[in-house]
């Protein structure tokens, strides 16, 4: 069946007992493997990066929440065009063209559904553009924020700066 094709880690995560055991294990090998699978160029994954992600995974409730999400035991609501079109805040979508986890077509569907959104697809980049393309993604994010703040400041102020 479909279940037979799933990686062993996903089979384990669906098992409550295995999830409880995994909750307390050193996950660095699993984190390294996950990062390498998320990058277009796995050579970019460093020991320091693995340690940083391991440290973040030790934050209170983080591992338990992640295990629940990955195991499929949480209710997931599909991101339909109707639901996405209700988003009215400025939205920036960053995606790698070599994402092994989420097809780039999904980013294009999000951009199409969210009014006024901006989509940037990075070439030869995997699932974590901010790691693989740190300079470009920060520049793009800053430029996006600058357009938001310039739009906000272009409107006349109703109140004087001193509050009068």
Is residue 96 within 8 A of residue 129, CB to CB? The reply is: yes
**Whole-number pLDDT of residue 1:** 52
- Asked if 147 and 85 sit in the same domain, the reply is yes
Q: Is residue 159 part of a domain?
A: no
CA dist 154 → 7, 146, 149, 164 (Å): 52, 12, 8, 20
163: in domain: no
- Indicate whether 20 and 41 sit together in one domain: yes
Residue 113 located in a structural domain? yes
Confidence at residue 5, expressed as pLDDT on a 0 to 100 scale? 53
What's the pLDDT score for residue 2? Answer: 47
Domain that holds residue 148: 81-154
Q: What's the structural domain count of the chain?
A: 2
Domain identity same for 102 and 38: no
Assigned domain for 161 exists: no
Residue that finishes a domain, picked among 48, 71, 94: 71
- Inside any domain, residue 28: yes
The pLDDT, as a whole number, for residue 57 is 79
**119 lies in some domain:** yes
Residues 88 and 140 in one domain: yes
CATH number at residue 128: 3.40.50.1820
Q: Which residues of the chain have pLDDT under 70?
A: 1-16, 18-25, 70-74, 152-164
C-alpha angle 80-63-122 in degrees, rounded to nearest 5? 50
Summarised one tens digit per residue, pLDDT across range 44-60 is 999 999 999 888 878 88
Token pair recorded at residue 33: 């493997």
């Amino acid at each position: 069946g479909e279940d037979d094709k799933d990686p062993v880690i996903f089979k384990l995560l669906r098992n409550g007992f295995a999830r409880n055991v995994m909750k307390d294990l050193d996950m660095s090998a699993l984190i390294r493997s996950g990062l390498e699978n998320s990058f277009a160029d796995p050579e970019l994954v460093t020991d320091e990066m693995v340690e940083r992600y391991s440290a973040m995974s030790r934050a209170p409730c983080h591992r338990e929440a992640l295990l629940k999400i990955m195991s499929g035991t949480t209710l997931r609501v599909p991101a339909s065009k109707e639901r996405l079109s209700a988003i009215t805040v400025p939205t920036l979508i960053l995606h790698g063209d070599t994402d092994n986890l989420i097809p780039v077509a999904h980013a294009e569907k999000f951009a199409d559904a969210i009014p006024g959104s901006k989509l940037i697809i990075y070439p030869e980049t995997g699932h974590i553009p901010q790691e693989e393309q740190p300079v470009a993604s920060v520049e793009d994010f800053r430029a996006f924020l600058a357009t938001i703040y310039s739009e906000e400041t272009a409107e006349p102020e109703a109140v004087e700066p001193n509050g009068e």
